[in-house]
Structure 1
Amino acid sequence: MNGCTSGGGEPAGDEGAPLGAMTLYPLPESVPLARRWFTKLIAPYGVTCRIDECLVMISELVTNAILHGQSDEEWQVRVEWYREGDGLRVDVHSPGHPGRVRMRPPSQEYLFGRGLHLVNELADRWAVGSSRFGGTVVSFTVADAWRL
């Protein structure tokens, strides 16, 4: 198995069906896999926003999910993306308590701990909440993703 399953829309409650989704194993090699699959699966939708910025944010959130996800059982990271008007929203689901997700002050001593700062700078909005799968969802939105 390649570490990723992907596909389009299953019903997602009130938020509508995702344009696409992927499920990843909590392994380091899932981060570049998430970038490749997102690039491939978003292409048919004609997104005009800067995909490279989305890839940075996806990389950071998937990395955080892998590093900080917690479960006593086998688990996976789920990435979903939605169209919201002219905006693109990406959700990253993982096990663990949403209250543990917070932006920490960056440190010159450590190479880690800047992921949410990057998301905060690149996204028009981002949020943390309880995942409908149980655990945590961290989302970012890029406004005007379908405008020229």
Structure 2
Amino acid sequence: MVGMRRDRFDLPEPFRRFFEGEWEASWLRVEEFRDGQTMVVRAELPGIDPDRDVDISVREGVLHIRGERREQAGEKAKSGYRTEFRYGSFSRNINLPPGCRQEDVTASYRDGILEVRIPVPQEPPAGTGKVTINRG
């Protein structure tokens, strides 16, 4: 039968992810929001040591989060070992609003959530203004 090839997009999203895995998506998932004049980036990182396994930096207007999840030497049965946990390096780059500085960035880790807070400089009022002409 011609045309019976299944494309990866034929399945509904939850089923495709379950059966085939995720190709493009990073397993480091984040949420971003504004809290007043602060940009907040939160990432789920359960089971890591933030002092040893995560590096955060800001360069050229981009927040870089890099790290590594290490596999724990666990009990492996004679009949085999199965895990769906992901181990290895991860990274995520997030564009920041203009004027954000690395010196102002703070980060905290609690209950498996990394939270990075970046103060956003006050933007000048939008719109046009009238320019006064001086006589002289």
The structure with more strand, counted as a fraction of residues: 2
Structure 1 length normalisation: TM-score?
0.31
The structure that has the greater radius of gyration is 2
Judging by fraction of residues, say which structure has more helix: 1
